[in-house]
Structure 1
């Protein structure tokens, strides 16, 4: 993993590096990093052995230039089997996002067969080099494209992070999943002539945390009308499915050749 982190922590703020920008504008913070940063802070302050971050909803309601970021959290509920915590992400320009996390107590798995199950996908871990970047934005992570954007059928990718999120801290499995989850939008909303929707949020649900560095995503749904879209993906690691991600998105000028 590169030593060039996306953020440097200075006091209560996280100062972004130039490569923390996203694909839509050269001076805009990438939304995937905000979700990952909120997950990192929520896990640090409210995580506990035996509790699983079963849901993480990231609302990205305001774009921000590359400014220092602060994350404030609130413990909403702390019960025997459930813990709920919220976070507000802000810069000097005000709040730019909010996050809600649900942590559930692990317990004994019920016996018997489930009537609905998500099977492991048949994609093997990547053995060759990742896809080269195209266009004006080079993804600061490794991406193996397993299906063509312009072809019918579900889009599939493997992803692997190449940079620390904050300073030289190793990525936790939760942060790795939160960073990958944002890719649900381009994967489920892409079309042959480019990406025409920018996501306003994403909701990650997990039955377990990912094992290892690879996270796989498979687009399993898209619906859109009047410039509003929703999409969904199933998330995998090399051992099998780990959860799902649902996004909402709004029509935006097309982004071509950047993914």
Structure 2
């Protein structure tokens, strides 16, 4: 755990929570230095914000035992290093399938504005071990050598804020151009101070770093900002570690996409995709 988190452990501290008669939940969170993004010390990283929206949807009351199978996070504008209010609700209730939504707001001089929103599909869970199948090969866990090198495989300009708060094991060079990049990252602290921490939230937060892991561009020359994040999970993630086999697809009009296969230490769990906006520095 890094020591630069403004005096508390986690990306956020919750300072208020309210729930109305319709089970609409509203919470206010203060970010720590572990929520800072890679492009500016004044802006939050999209990963922790997406995880916070996912957390709020996961904690809604549900009609049956199940889990979030897909979550999509949309970044609506710059998210300042200031408190955010997150509200969540069940859009489409059901016994087997539910559609959930969450929105994050910030207060500015011009009023309250939405800065991020998310939707998720909650699916009823049951037993299907006898037909389990993954089209992706298992990813070897981090080695002792990779763990010793740690964040040295991460570009120096990114070794701060959220990315710098993670524990890294980079297997192939970030920015390589001859194939996908492979890295493991661990979030060994809770998203919200005082909570045990949820494996889904950790996975979503780390998955947002896929565009960085799979980058084919030098961050000293280019900004490649993702506008959204979509995570499909065929298997619920387990543990602090998330592995990524990530690659970027760069178009000729300064637009691209990033995708990655996500794994935990037990095997592949799903995929992530992001749209990219490219700008030359």
Question: Could you state the TM-score of these two structures normalised by the residue count of structure 2?
Answer: 0.82
Asked if the contact 2:174–2:214 (Cα under 8 Å) also holds between the matched residues in 1, the reply is no
Q: 2:274 aligns with which of 247, 251, 256?
A: 247
Report the CA distance between 1:48 and its aligned residue. 7.0
Asked if the contact 2:247–2:260 (Cα under 8 Å) also holds between the matched residues in 1, the reply is yes
* Cα shift readout 1:157-183 (whole Å, capped 9, x = no counterpart): 001013322112121111111111101
Task: Write the distance in 1 (CA, Å) between the matches of 2:29 and 2:101.
Answer: 18
1:68 is matched with 83
Asked if the contact 1:126–1:158 (Cα under 8 Å) also holds between the matched residues in 2, the reply is no
Asked if the contact 2:216–2:248 (Cα under 8 Å) also holds between the matched residues in 1, the reply is no
Task: Write the distance in 1 (CA, Å) between the matches of 2:213 and 2:158.
Answer: 19
Deviates more, 1:130-139 or 1:72-81: 130-139
Q: May I ask how many residue pairs the two structures share in their alignment?
A: 252
Question: Could you state the TM-score of these two structures normalised by the residue count of structure 1?
Answer: 0.88
2:20 is matched with none
Task: Write the distance in 1 (CA, Å) between the matches of 2:266 and 2:198.
Answer: 17
* Cα shift readout 1:108-152 (whole Å, capped 9, x = no counterpart): 4386696x822213x233323222462374211111111012431
2:142 is matched with 125
What do you get for the CA RMSD once the two structures are aligned?
Answer: 2.3
| 1:4 to 2:4 alignment | no
* Cα shift readout 1:70-94 (whole Å, capped 9, x = no counterpart): 1111211112211111111111131
Equivalent residues in 2 for 1:1-259, closer than 5 Å: 1=1, 4-11=9-16, 12-46=27-61, 50-93=65-108, 94-109=113-128, 117-121=135-139, 123-127=140-144, 128-129=147-148, 130-132=150-152, 134-135=156-157, 137-138=159-160, 139-151=164-176, 152-192=178-218, 194=220, 196-220=223-247, 222-254=249-281
SS class of match (2:204):
helix
Report the CA distance between 1:189 and its aligned residue. 3.3
Report the CA distance between 1:46 and its aligned residue. 4.0
Deviates more, 1:12-21 or 1:104-113: 104-113
Unaligned runs of 5+ in 2: 3-7, 17-26
Deviates more, 1:7-16 or 1:46-55: 46-55
* Cα shift readout 1:179-202 (whole Å, capped 9, x = no counterpart): 111012212333256553100001
* Cα shift readout 1:181-235 (whole Å, capped 9, x = no counterpart): 1012212333256553100001000012212211100015524230111121000
Change (3 A) 1:135 1:170: same
Task: Write the distance in 2 (CA, Å) between the matches of 1:41 and 1:112.
Answer: 31
Unaligned runs of 5+ in 1: 255-259
SS class of match (1:189):
coil
